[in-house]
Structure 1
Amino acid sequence: MRRDHGFTLVELLVVIAIIGVLISLLLPAVQQAREAARRIQCQNNFKQLGLALHNYHDTHRNFPSISSSSTGYSPQALVLPFIEQGNLHDLIDFSQPLMLGSGPSVSLNPVHSGIPDRVLPMLLCPSESGDPMFIDGGETWAGTNYMVNVGSGNGLNYSEGNSPNGLFWRGSDTSFRDITDGTSHTILMAETLFGGRDQVSTTVLTDPQRQIKSVSGGAPGSKTAEDLDAASASGYTGKRAGSWIRATGFHITINGFYTPNSLNPDVSHHGYIVTSSRSNHPGGTQLVLADGSVKFAPETIDLAVWRALFSRGGGEVPQPF
């Protein structure tokens, strides 16, 4: 008589162990491949945004500005027709303020209802794992990871209300002629991470990559970045990068005060923000220069070089990175 032979329990366990080892070896490679694809998509987003800003400049003879009023619009909103969002741009009545009221009592202008919560994939980094949606004033807002360059960050070069040394501030009309450091040495936009929407505390810093340190006291733009960095926190919030349409510093601007992925939290003072570029890309962050080229900035970049890249006319000659 013929007897069928099956696997013994020991043989089965050995096979399972071998499969487990193979999976553990393969998983990091799969994750690296996925991150490589996400990084390429992020680079493509930056490339398209760089081209959009160039096309905006060709049309208007200057780069889009941050609204002179905090109740107005961001450069990201103004550039919509040049990133294939012309229909959305046409829905926005730029002749009216985005927000009504002033100070902490502002609310969305009803004529723009249903617009600010639209998620725009080109304004999102694929490696971002945070929440793009931000609830404020009873409204839901969609955020962006891609910030416009205000300046080097040191001194008052973080405040978009003080004509800093970058390319974008309130009422700016900068153009290529103003970039005396050279377009290949000056940042147009760089990325950041969404704030931890629920990471709000009056005392505790739990995640410097996601939380903002709030500092109170003094008039807007009256304190240097160095003073704000050293100041005690009045609280910590997760509101950064919460709206692509609002002309609020911590939503749409960036500067070079801290190196990429700094362990120091960003600092907010009356809406103006002292920042680091941040991302989930291993080892650094991405950006687009004024010449349209996309670069990867390592976390190890020299701080002086980093700040020089945010300056449009400081006379520095940053080393390649």
Structure 2
Amino acid sequence: MHDFPPSWWPLTNYGLGGLPIFLMFVVATLLVFSIRVRGAKWECVARTALLVGLPPVMVLWVDLSRPSVLQPLRGPMISALLLMLILIALQAAMRTLRKYREAGNSWESVGRLALIGLCCGFLLPVVFQPSSGASGPPAAMRTQCKNNLKQIGLALHNYHDVNSMFPIAVQPKFDRSWRVTVLPFLDQAPLYERYNHDATWEHPDNAPLAGVVVQTLDCPARPFRLDDHDRFLSAYSAVTGPGTAFGDREYVKINAFTDGLANTLMVAETCGKPIVWTRPKDVSTATDEPEINAPGDALHESNGVMSSYHFGGAQVLLGDGSVRFIGEQLEPELLRQLMTRDGNSHGEPRTPDFF
């Protein structure tokens, strides 16, 4: 199982713990400074640094930009490669330090050199952290994500005003997703008209639309937005299942929310679910774990009903159109109740204080 979201240094998801990864950079930096202290040219230092540090950095870079590129090499092979690099760097560093000590340098000098390497080892993962799809400060990205969910909520209520009911999660005819249904209410009428409503989402007429990036369905905090086939993945999914706001293939009206609109979840962040935005698929209370940011079977995936790259939890859209942030510590039973529109027969407010 892989943690979601991946740790700040994603190489730890390949089977090696955080300490060996950290040690690899420490000994690499130690080796570089040892060579330089012994009088080597900076050219030699640069070559050594590239030899030891470039492979794992490139693995990280490729993984963040396209998580599935290295799928055939994941697991034991990558773990073995990193372990080999650690052993090589350790052996070279110890040999250099031994020769440095035999040349007449004091243990104090050796310790000072090791301390420099240790400090630089802390900095290397930060300096070489590759850029990803996410851009901007965390607070700004969270605000943009919140605004996206508010627009989705407004679109759902405008659809209800026109049709006297909320859209069904999956249209029975050709299984059209609700995300396609509400496009006209998201100022995407031209895109809606391009969609062939008499064909499946994978039909040649509709397949090209899967690659269109709909900004309202994109969370800026996630590191990638496209799959291996350059199809746009939705950051948000409807909460489906018996008794939910989207029902179980049934149309739902406002008067069906006996718990109150403000106490019922409709749409949630699901960045850990690789769902193409035109695909008629969402999260379900019947099949997904009632957890937030639960571990997943693959890197950058989550088995939980909600998953987000915002620290500590995920943002959700409530039935009244408001957007709240739910912390990961929310109890599964309370989360189950919040995902249903009629789970509390007395209609008492169930919204937790830390929403």
The 8 Å contact of residues 74 and 247 in structure 1, kept in 2 or not, is answered as yes
Q: Structure 2 matches for 1:80-119, cutoff 5 A?
A: 80-94=183-197, 96-99=198-201, 108-119=202-213
CA separation in 1, counterparts of 2:254 and 2:176?
A: 22
Task: State the Cα distance separating 1:276 from its structure 2 match.
Answer: 2.5
Please state how far the C-alpha of 1:71 moved relative to its aligned partner. Answer: 4.3
Partner in structure 2 of residue 146 of structure 1: 236
Structure 2 residue identity aligned to 1:296? F
> Measured at CA, do residues 246 and 301 of structure 1 come closer, stay the same or move farther in structure 2, by a change above 3 Å?
same
For 1:134 and 1:60, locate their aligned partners in 2 and report how far apart those are by CA, in whole Å. 37
The yes-or-no answer on 1:276 pairing with 2:305 is yes
Equivalent of residue 343 in structure 2, options 307, 314, 318:
314
Give the paired residue count. 217
How far off its partner does 1:33 sit? 7.5
2: CA distance between counterparts of 1:41 and 1:119?
Answer: 16
Query: 1:254, 1:277 within 8 Å by CA — same for their partners in 2?
Result: no
Task: For residue 89 of structure 1, report the CA deviation from its aligned partner.
Answer: 0.6
Shift of 1:286: 0.3
Deviation at 1:258, TM superposition (A): 2.4
Corresponding residue for 1:227?
none
- 2:158 aligned counterpart, secondary structure: helix
Secondary structure, counterpart of 2:166 in structure 1: coil
1:92-241 paired onto structure 2 within 5 Å: 92-94=195-197, 96-99=198-201, 108-135=202-229, 140-151=230-241, 164-169=242-247, 171-194=249-272, 240-241=273-274
* CA contact 1:190–1:254 (8 Å) conserved in 2: no
Identity of aligned residues (%): 29
Between structure 1 and structure 2, the one with the greater Rg is 2
* Residues 1:309 and 1:88: Cα distance change in structure 2 (over 3 Å): same
Q: Is the 8 A contact 1:132 1:144 kept in 2?
A: no
Partner of 1:260: 292
SS class of match (2:185) = helix
Tell me, in whole angstroms, the C-alpha distance in 2 between the residues paired with 1:86 and 1:290.
Answer: 24
Structure 1 residue 133, shift from structure 2 partner: 2.8
Q: Distance in 2 between matches of 1:66 and 1:183?
A: 18
Equivalent residue, structure 2, for 1:36: 139
Q: Is the 8 A contact 1:69 1:170 kept in 2?
A: no
Aligned position for 1:45: 148
Which one has the bigger strand percentage?
1
Could you say what secondary structure the match of 1:295 adopts? strand
**Separation of aligned partners in 1, 2:267 and 2:210:** 21
Using the size of structure 2 for normalisation, the TM-score is 0.55
Displacement of 1:301 in angstroms is 1.1
| TM-score, length of structure 1 as denominator length | 0.61
**In 2 relative to 1, CA 291–114 (structure 1 residues): closer, same or farther, beyond 3 Å?**
same
Cα distance in structure 1, aligned partners of 2:303 and 2:257: 22
Question: What one-letter code is carried by the residue in structure 1 that aligns with 2:253?
Answer: S
Shift of 1:241: 3.0
Structure 2: tracts of 5 or more residues without a match: 1-115, 127-133
Other-structure match for 1:247 = 280
The verdict on how the C-alpha distance between 1:134 and 1:50 changes in structure 2, with shifts beyond 3 A counting, is farther
Task: Tell me if the contact between 1:148 and 1:253 (Cα under 8 Å) persists in the aligned partners.
Answer: yes
With over 3 angstroms needed to count, the CA separation of the structure-2 counterparts of 1:127 and 1:32, relative to structure 1, is: closer
